[in-house]
Amino acid sequence: MAKKKNLSEVTQVHLREPGRVRIAVVTSSWNPEVTGVLEQGAVAYLSEQGITPGNILVEKVPGSYELPLAARLMLNRGDIDGVVCLGCIIQGETRHFEFIAQAVAHGIMEVNLQATAPVSFGVLTTDTHQQALDRAGGKHGNKGIEAAAAVVSMLALKQKMETTL
């Protein structure tokens, strides 16, 4: 079986009352030629799922390191059902990449586990700028779409669990 290259082929998820769902998309401003495409993909996917444009709150943060706090702030509003975190960290000549990538992954995981709402990790961690472009609408799809699909899928699971209790 051939390995699937474009993983951004996601399926329709059926949310209960998608027009009432509010999703925050928090995007790092660092590497905007990459993160902007991730954001566009995430917003388009959320719209395709029936979430109204007015219920998709898009915010920018300086870099990927700020994504976990931004996700927590969004959830603290009390009216956000899920958060899509988008960023791009590209390997440089120093170990800075390792520290930032690990801190961001751990931070988003902590927010996700502590929250009663889904938070996705849509942060590219690549060796090169080209690898990032390949995953931001290039030959490997758009990981922003995948991150948005993860939030919607987990939100649908949450809705299902709430109705079975």
Which of the following is catalytic: 14, 96, 106, 140?
96
Instruction: For residue 136, give the nearest of 126, 107, 149, 83 by alpha carbon.
Output: 126
**What's the full length of the chain, in residues?**
165
Which ranges of 2-127 does DSSP label H, i.e. alpha helix? 32-48, 67-76, 96-114
Residue 84 backbone dihedrals phi, psi, to 5 degrees: -105, 120
- Under DSSP, the state recorded for 18 is G
Reply yes or no on whether 96 is catalytic.
yes
Residues known to be catalytic: 96
